Structures are given as structure tokens and as C-alpha cells.
Homo-oligomer: A and B are copies of this chain.
């Protein structure tokens, strides 16, 4: 019998598995990553509601940093109902608090975190050509920032490291 086409809620998720490749750059199957996020929340006693999950799915499906208002439109397209900005911002806030989503400050946009299972400390390369972003982990950067912070007596709580430019493909396509 056909399933209710409201939201992806009950389908048994693809089995989450940790990604062992340190250089995978976030190339993961959305469904699997969302399932992983769900299981992470379960383990923490946090509530991954249908709406929060929907936002996370949309981010994974988008494939590039996505603005809050784009998410609103996407939800509305999918469900033929109105969604106010606070609803989406609250979902993003939750997802960020859980380390499942990161905000790209220089774009006012959001990306799903490729490795929520690791305690992440990410670094983003943002392409001006295709508007995609690549997430990388480089613990050395965090180390230097910690060192500099210590020098200043500064207690760091959040780090933003973003590099803008052109990815290999776009740089080749439009050399200038």
C-alpha cells in the first residue's frame, strides 16, 4: 500500500555507518547522513523532529550552502503550506547546536556537517563559480588557533575558517 506522502518519517533508515575516510570531503549519500544524524540525536536523548529532519534533508540534497529563505521556499514547495522564518531558524539553531549543520558566515548560508560523529572542527572552501563548498578537517589549524588564543588569554568557543575562491573545476573552466 502507498505510504502517506507527507514527510519522511517512518521509512527504516539506511544503516548509518561512520565514515573512515579523512579526505572524503563530504561526499556522502544524503539518506545515510540523515540516518546517522537521527541516530546521533537518539543517543543523546535529543529530539530530531520531522521538521528538523526535513531541513537537514534539504540541506543534504541541496549540495551547496543554502540560505534560510531558500529552505523556506523548498519546504513550502514540498508541502504546499506556509512556513515562517522563525520556524526554519529554530530548526537550524537546533541542528547547529547538535553539530549537524554549520553556518557559512561569509555567505549567510548553511551546510550539513559531513562528520557529525567526529567532534568536528571544520574549515570551508567556498567556490565563487559553482557556489559549492567543501568541508575539510585540518587539526593543525585548530592547534595554531588554540595557541594564539592562549597567547592572548582568550577563551575560544567558536571558530570560523572560510576560504573563498575557485574550485579546481571552475578555475579550469573560467581562467582569468
Contacts and interface: CB of A to CB of B under 8 A. Distances in A.
Contact of A161 (B134, B161, B167): B161
Contact of A141 (B144, B153, B166): B144
Interface in A150-167: 152-167
Task: State the copy count for this chain.
Answer: 2
A123 interface: yes
Nearest to A175: B155
A159 to B, nearest CB: 5
A140 interface: yes
Interface of A: 25, 105-106, 123, 125, 127-128, 134, 136, 138, 140-141, 144-145, 148-149, 152-168, 171
A105 B162 CA distance: 10
Contact of A152 (B141, B153, B168): B168
A136 B154 CA distance: 12
B159 A162 contact: yes
Given A158-B165, A164-B157, A141 B145 contact: yes
